[in-house]
Amino acid sequence: MTPEYIIEICVAIDIAILSIAYPIIIDKISNIGDKYSSEYIHVIFNNEIPQRQIIIKINNKEYRISFFNLTLYATLFSFIFLIFKFEPLFGWDNWLINNSAKLIVLILTIFLIIQFFIWLGKVALYNGKSKILLTHIISKYNKSKAGTELQSYNLKAINELAFYAIEKQDEHLQETLLEFYYTVFANIRKNHDKTKPLVYPIDLYFLVSKINEIAAENKTKLRAIEHSAVSGFWLLGKDFEDIPISDETYSWLWRNIYTIYDNPRLVEMFWANSSQYFKYNLKSFFPKYDFGKEKPVITNQEQVEKRETERKRFLEFHYALGGLLLYQKQYKTLKYLFEYSQSKPPKYVLLPETTTEIFYWFEYFWNEFKHKIPIGFRYGFPELNNLGNIGQVNYWICSYISILFLRQYTLHQYYIYQNFTDLPNLPNNILELNSWLDSISFFERTLNELLSNKELIDALEFEKLVESNRANFIAFINDFKNDIKNKIGQHKLNAKLSDEKIENFYSKSNEIISNSFSLYKPIFIEKSEEHLKSDLKLTINGEQILMPKYAFTDSDIPLLNYDTFFADTIATKKIERYIPLAFHIARTKRYLLNKENLLYALSKIIANNNDIVIVGVQLGYQTKEILDNSDFKNSILYIPSTEYDLKDTLFVLRKNDLPAIEHRDIKEEEIEELQLKCINEHLKIYASVIDINLEENMAIKDKWNFNNELDNEDLKVQLTIAFLCIIYWKKEREIIQINVASEFREQGIQNDINDVEPLST
């Protein structure tokens, strides 16, 4: 049997595929994904067989070619065996060998046809109905290995189809998408390590965020998908898996809130789901006690504390939401939040029930030191995104909590134990009590501003409430202040200062101030008549500050560095700043030079003068290295400085032109008035610690001119470190200042080396 017409048929088919069908399909392929504005559907298609590429390495070079193209090229290459006749190898002579060229063409053509129809089907699929394509890509996602790049691309493509469905109102895709995403989120939560916060794949965060953007523009009728994304259903979950919410999830939730805050319908949707989540998924754990020991022990303490931390983080987020709505004047939305409940009698799970909760959260947001990450960075508000105004975020959240205080007067009592306007239960921690006391002034301010906001009061329908309770508000605040002060107790207000802590303060202050002065001992000379005749005299003296009294009392919360920070401040901001600045003030000439001509300039300035000293102020590493390796190294005195403008500065002068310093006595009346004690007789340094709350020290307290907002600042002591030193400069002096130019600082135009003049001889 001899095969006939194989060549004619195969060649005709191959030519038809190559010349007619192939260009048409290539054109269709180039449009894949355009319908959905997709960047990833085309990538998914390129991973389909026969479109998938294989890598061929030749001479260490990689060549990529698709399965279909490889088959096409192989088929065309097989025609060579028809064009050239080759003798059978090894003398073989049988039917298979004699017709092998035709059979190769036939087999490759059949394989090409099969791949062509598969290829055609894939092209039709990716250019066809969106629902069929979505189902296909979902199937590929489910079959792909978790965590692989292919699975990620499949998810990205499904997300793009979801955006297409929402924007084009394609309701046919909604059910399939809902089922898919529910399964994806549920599987992630189910397989997650329950001991760690859950971080979703970034594509899922982007999905939810994008749907929120579309929903905020009211562009969708696919309410089921919209609700799942906007309400937090997908990110928070509807299951009862006990999984902590990660910071990343909170961050994306806030991005979504930032997108929808001006759309009341969407905010209400989010609030409703959050209420349900907080009520059922974040229920408090009750302590379990083991009474088998002398003292009952809580056996689930870690679980209780962990859940309490999760609840507080969740509430913090929603208090920030309230602050954002108030800042953006979304008053009607606030009214909805105030009235939203899922039970009868109503229970407002995301709002405070007692004034204790209100003032706990008010102080929490007011006290910025409680937050490792500033609230303004964690919850960004529109136009409040720089360091100059980021503190306003705390202000608006605190203002929202002040509104919640007013709301307490609208609540109805359903149970005997309920008292919504009773004074708060105070913390037992003295530091917390002081912080609460300090925050009341700010609370009064925010409350008064809210009461004067007629638009807000009218929108919340609080007019009668405000009118009938103004006196109650004032009485509440006054009683609250007194309650805190009473709890702090008279033993706190009148506590005796610790002699040991005062002595520590004296000792450390003397050590720090003395060491600071000693740094500059080499640059001062004996005071002479010429010094006294000069009009250039510079003064450095001590300071006074107020400090919390508890820092100097026993049996109280210790304050870190209570005995050193004041002296450190004086040493760095006064002594180590003003003494180097004295040279700058006393200079007679100034040059700006670079490191290359510095040594030449010094030799030119010094000339034949032998009695010369060079004072180096806060020199950089390179400058110091140049000088240490020069002939001037024995003439240099290095001194520190905290004045930035004197960095890398030299002063060249004669030794007898150096300044003199005089440490003067403090006046007797000042010693008596400030109750000063001498802590260094040589340098004439005095110090005192005065409890300004005592009756005999009221005159000192009055000098601080406390206003009404500072009435609570009575638990203070006055710290004084007193000294007076005069720096004398001779009238007839010659001091040349040299600033070393730096490419990192703007210092003006450099001097030419010819501008440098020597010291007079």
The CA–CA distances, whole Å, from 112 to 15, 26, 74, 82 equal 12, 16, 9, 18
Phi and psi torsions of 738, nearest 5°:
-120, 120
Give the span between the Cα atoms of 378 and 366, in whole angstroms: 15
Predicted pLDDT of residue 709: 42
Predicted pLDDT of residue 657: 92
Give the span between the Cα atoms of 87 and 152, in whole angstroms: 54
- Is residue 357 a part of any domain in this protein? no
CA-based nearest residue to 493, from 439, 549, 546, 438: 549
Q: Which two tokens stand for residue 758?
A: 């020597």
- Is residue 507 a part of any domain in this protein? yes
- Is residue 284 a part of any domain in this protein? no
Give the span between the Cα atoms of 761 and 759, in whole angstroms: 6
Give the span between the Cα atoms of 249 and 374, in whole angstroms: 18
Give the span between the Cα atoms of 105 and 180, in whole angstroms: 46
- Is residue 442 a part of any domain in this protein? no
The beta-strand segments (E) located in 665-715 are 677-680, 685-691
- Is residue 632 a part of any domain in this protein? yes
H-helix or E-strand spanning residue 104? helix 100-126
Predicted pLDDT of residue 2: 53
Please report where in the chains the tokens 């008035």 appear, as a residue. 673
User: For residue range 454-479, what is the model confidence (pLDDT) as tens digits?
Assistant: 999 999 999 999 999 999 999 999 99
Predicted pLDDT of residue 651: 95
- Is residue 1 a part of any domain in this protein? no
Find out whether 243 and 198 touch, Cβ atoms under 8 Å.
Answer: yes
Give the span between the Cα atoms of 201 and 215, in whole angstroms: 22
Instruction: Name the 3-class secondary structure at 429.
Output: coil
Print the domain residue range for 115: 6-128
Q: What is the 3-state secondary structure (H, E, C) of 530-597?
A: HHHHCCCEEEEEEEEEEEEHHHHECCCCCCCCCCCHHHHHHHHHHHHHHHHHHHHHHCCEEEEECCCC
The parts of the chain modelled with pLDDT lower than 50 are: 1, 708-713
C-alpha torsion 385→388→394→395, nearest 10: -120
Tell me the β-bridge partners of 616.
Answer: 638, 650
- Is residue 32 a part of any domain in this protein? yes
CA-based nearest residue to 284, from 349, 381, 233: 349
Find out whether 716 and 547 touch, Cβ atoms under 8 Å.
Answer: yes
Please report where in the chains the tokens 């919340």 appear, as a residue. 460
The alpha-carbon radius of gyration of the chain (Å, integer) is: 41
User: For residue range 597-648, what is the model confidence (pLDDT) as tens digits?
Assistant: 989 999 999 888 888 999 999 998 899 999 999 889 889 999 999 988 888 9
Give the span between the Cα atoms of 701 and 691, in whole angstroms: 9
pTM for the whole thing? Answer: 0.65
Tell me the β-bridge partners of 538.
Answer: 727
Predicted pLDDT of residue 273: 94
Please report where in the chains the tokens 């997908």 appear, as a residue. 234
Among 75, 106, 128, the domain-final residue is: 128
Give the span between the Cα atoms of 11 and 76, in whole angstroms: 9
CA-based nearest residue to 759, from 589, 560, 582, 616: 589
Predicted pLDDT of residue 90: 55
Predicted pLDDT of residue 710: 40
- Is residue 727 a part of any domain in this protein? yes
User: For residue range 533-564, what is the model confidence (pLDDT) as tens digits?
Assistant: 888 999 999 999 999 888 888 867 778 899 99
Find out whether 186 and 243 touch, Cβ atoms under 8 Å.
Answer: no
Among 106, 128, 150, the domain-final residue is: 128
Please state, as a whole number, how many other Cβ atoms lie within 10 Å of the Cβ of residue 77. Answer: 11
Number of domains in the chain: 2
Among 97, 128, 159, the domain-final residue is: 128
Predicted pLDDT of residue 408: 94
Find out whether 750 and 738 touch, Cβ atoms under 8 Å.
Answer: no
